[in-house]
Amino acid sequence: MSSPSTALARRRPIGQAPKETHTHTQTRTPVGVRSGQGSAAMSSGQAKVPVAGRRNVLVTSALPYVNNVPHLGNIIGCVLSADVFARYCRLRGHNVLYVCGTDEYGTATENRALEEGCSPLQICDKYHAIHKEVYEWFNINFDHFGRTSTPQQTEICQSIFSKLLDNNWLSENTMQQLYCESCQRFLADRFVVGSCPVEGCGNDTARGDQCDRCGRLLNSTELIDPRCKVCEGIPIVRDTDHLFLELPLLKEQLEKYIDEASATGSWSQNAVRITNAWLKEGLKPRCITRDLKWGVPVPHEKYKDKVFYVWFDAPIGYISITACYTPEWEKWWKNPENVELYQFMGKDNVPFHTVMFPSALLGTGENWTLMKNISVTEYLNYESGKFSKTKGIGVFGNDAKATNIPADVWRYYLLSNRPEASDAVFTWEGLQIKHNNELINNLGNFIYRVLSFIAKPEGAGYGSIIPEAPNANTHPLSQSLAETVGNLIEQYIDAMDKVKLKQGLKIAMAISSEGNAYLQESQFWKLYKQDPASCATVMKTSAGLVYLLACLLEPFMPSFSKDVLQQLNLCPKEHISFADEKGETEKVKRPWDLIPSNHRIGKTVHLFEVLNDDAVDSFRKTFAGSQAERNARAN
């Protein structure tokens, strides 16, 4: 995000703000009191708070802009990755709070409202509901999914600003900005279009903040032949005053925090690289205000007609959304000794979370829970191009649902293809290969072979009853499998603790491969008649492995896990937790002991259906081009 166009005239300290504050246009509600977007946990009096003696994990994912439907790149970059980690932490017995919500203020929302001929609030209501529906279909298990256009956001944002003001971390600057005389307003970045100034680009519809063709970040005054997006008039340059956060003055505190957090926490390499690049380039004062109407009002008499810039406002949304969830939000956000904050996002959001947001919190002088761990994805591209919300290119959340491919298949493909170290590419062929070769031929094949054999009537199987394993402790093949699986589980926990989600999924699937190899080598179909005791050991061990896979893969494919546990006739709420205090990590190294003898399993069915070539070709054609082109074809 770029600052308003700057022709630097003067930077000066700000006088003390008046006692009274400019209130939000919405009805004000005390911080921590709900404003209509309640949660079941809160209404039942069971909102989570940190618990002494337990590991308390606060998880956030970058707040998605509310002005469009999220595409698959957005989903894997923030909410899905965070969901997997939050589910894993619950599996480990940690006390977890996962919050997210729609980022609703700023130019993008006003711009979308203009395009659709309605108010910004109507846009927010419309797309908040769409986002919520998409994430529910993807089985994203938020503890609370909120929004930033709330009284809690206004109050907390203004409180942080006031403390920065009191502590002299703010200054003001007279800047030059484009002004539309016809509309009688200063034009925010996205309300200006013109020709890109980059030589050779040639884009004559570049926005005032960025050129979509060459990717260059811009200031609106840099555009050639700029024009107002609202009335197509030619704007003029005028002086306007704005407030700045003095990042250079906060540099010492910020660098100390970054050094400590990146050393003791889990920071992905791209987060470290991007943050260091910002520090090396040199911190500059950052503008925190905008000449807009839709946003958090600035509580200062001189700037009461301005709002806070979205990069300053949006990260505070994590805090205000928590305040909408529980009035005891400070136990999460002002408790760094007992709470670990994990944040998930795409690489374009890194500086706002490692530089801007912590600087604002540090500047208040209060004891905030600062981010200790950050997981950042690179870009997920689409076929031969790029996903684009602006151009409507790629597969969007509602598109995924329309294919009738189960949500867990989408989750698996996105997570196994998660762009952790470099950009990745979504292809329909890649989805088909992952689905058919890995989910069906590996995972589904192993589970069905085991459970369908146990379900066969006596004389051919075990009549759906888990047999006893009389010689498990002396059965060489089972002992070898147990040792291999034990090592893989230790690797799985190590990878997941370090937020290496792609590696964790790969290790879990390796356990399924070991199960298939174990079945083949045992030749259980021959043992059934030739060595019944060994066959019983193999099948009881394999059934335990099925149970283990359902638990390990729950963070990645929750519906799959539920279906497998149903086929095993086991309660989903009582599955293996891998909590250190329960010692279950050691227990799983004896898979033949995971399900008791004489337990009756449920009905066995195939878990996945083949994704054939015709379906893939159809999807590729259906989702080719932009959304506008698709609509034209449909009509």
Exposed/middle/buried for residue 199 (C-beta within 10 Å: 0-12, 13-18, 19+): exposed
- Average pLDDT estimate for 433-445: 97
Residue 11 clears pLDDT 70, i.e. is over it: no
In percent, the amount of the chain with pLDDT more than 90 equals 74
| CATH tag, 441-600 | 1.10.730.10
- Average pLDDT estimate for 440-446: 97
Please give the Cα distance from 332 to 96 (Å, whole number).
10
Q: Are strands 424-426 and 380-382 parallel, antiparallel or unpaired?
A: parallel
412 φ/ψ angles, rounded to the nearest 5 degrees = -60, -45
Q: What is the pLDDT of residues 204-257, one digit of tens each?
A: 989 888 887 787 778 888 999 999 988 899 999 999 999 999 999 999 999 999
| CATH tag, 56-167+250-280+309-377 | 3.40.50.620
How many C-beta atoms surround the C-beta of residue 236 within 10 A?
A: 10
Please give the Cα distance from 348 to 378 (Å, whole number).
9
Cβ 207 vs Cβ 192: under 8 Å = yes
- Average pLDDT estimate for 338-350: 95
Residue 586 clears pLDDT 90, i.e. is over it: no
Tell me the pLDDT band of 202, cut-offs 50, 70 and 90: confident
More confident residue, 4 or 321: 321
Angle of CA points 469, 473, 475, to nearest 5°: 80
252, amino acid identity: E
Residue 17 clears pLDDT 60, i.e. is over it: no
Tell me the pLDDT band of 288, cut-offs 50, 70 and 90: very high
What pLDDT was estimated at residue 572? 80
Element (H, E) at 49: none
Q: Which of 20-24, 84-88, 354-358, 414-418 has the lowest mean pLDDT?
A: 20-24
Residue 106 clears pLDDT 50, i.e. is over it: yes
**Which residues 6+ apart lie within 8 Å of 198 measured at CB?**
211, 214, 216
Residue 260 clears pLDDT 80, i.e. is over it: yes
303, amino acid identity: Y
What pLDDT was estimated at residue 32? 33
Do 56-167+250-280+309-377 and 441-600 show the same overall fold?
Answer: no
How far from 418 is each of 74, 91, 379, 502, CA to CA, in Å? 12, 21, 9, 6
Please give the Cα distance from 491 to 612 (Å, whole number).
34
368 φ/ψ angles, rounded to the nearest 5 degrees = -75, 150
What pLDDT was estimated at residue 575? 78
DSSP of 455-524, one letter per residue? HSPBTTB-TTBPPP-TTGGG-HHHHHHHHHHHHHHHHHHHHHHTT-HHHHHHHHHHHHHHHHHHHHHHTH
More confident residue, 390 or 57: 57
Cβ 143 vs Cβ 97: under 8 Å = yes
Q: Are strands 307-308 and 380-382 parallel, antiparallel or unpaired?
A: unpaired
Q: Coil, strand or helix: which one is 388? A: strand
Cβ 78 vs Cβ 346: under 8 Å = yes
How many C-beta atoms surround the C-beta of residue 20 within 10 A?
A: 9
Tell me the pLDDT band of 14, cut-offs 50, 70 and 90: low
Cβ 333 vs Cβ 317: under 8 Å = no
- Look over the chain and give the mean of its residue pLDDT values, rounded to a whole number: 89
What pLDDT was estimated at residue 266? 86
What pLDDT was estimated at residue 133? 96
Q: Which of 205-214, 309-318, 441-450, 551-560 has the lowest mean pLDDT?
A: 205-214
- Average pLDDT estimate for 321-328: 98
Residue 9 clears pLDDT 90, i.e. is over it: no
Cβ 48 vs Cβ 89: under 8 Å = no
Angle of CA points 299, 305, 306, to nearest 5°: 75
Please give the Cα distance from 617 to 630 (Å, whole number).
15
- Average pLDDT estimate for 525-553: 97
Task: For the chain, give the number of residues.
Answer: 635
Tell me the pLDDT band of 271, cut-offs 50, 70 and 90: very high
Tell me the pLDDT band of 587, cut-offs 50, 70 and 90: confident
Q: Would you give the end-to-end CA distance of the chain in angstroms?
A: 37
Any idea where the domains of the chain sit in the sequence? 56-167+250-280+309-377, 397-427+611-634, 441-600
- Of 265, 251, 211, 189, nearest to 6 by C-alpha is 189
DSSP state letter for 427: -
Which residues are bridge partners to 102 per DSSP? 147
Where are any strands of DSSP class E within 92-169? 95-102, 144-147
- Average pLDDT estimate for 29-42: 36
Tell me the pLDDT band of 584, cut-offs 50, 70 and 90: confident
Highest averaged pLDDT of the listed ranges 13-27, 102-116, 343-357, 567-581:
343-357
Q: What is the pLDDT of residues 381-432, one digit of tens each?
A: 998 777 777 677 788 898 999 999 999 999 999 999 999 989 999 999 999 9
Element (H, E) at 346: strand 339-346
Residue 35 clears pLDDT 50, i.e. is over it: no
How far from 574 is each of 23, 46, 244, 444, 570, CA to CA, in Å? 49, 20, 53, 23, 8
20, amino acid identity: E
Which residues are bridge partners to 144 per DSSP? 99
Q: What is the pLDDT of residues 150-179, one digit of tens each?
A: 999 999 999 999 999 999 999 999 988 899
Q: Are strands 385-386 and 144-147 parallel, antiparallel or unpaired?
A: unpaired
How many C-beta atoms surround the C-beta of residue 617 within 10 A?
A: 12
What pLDDT was estimated at residue 13? 59
Please give the Cα distance from 376 to 81 (Å, whole number).
9
Residue 318 clears pLDDT 70, i.e. is over it: yes
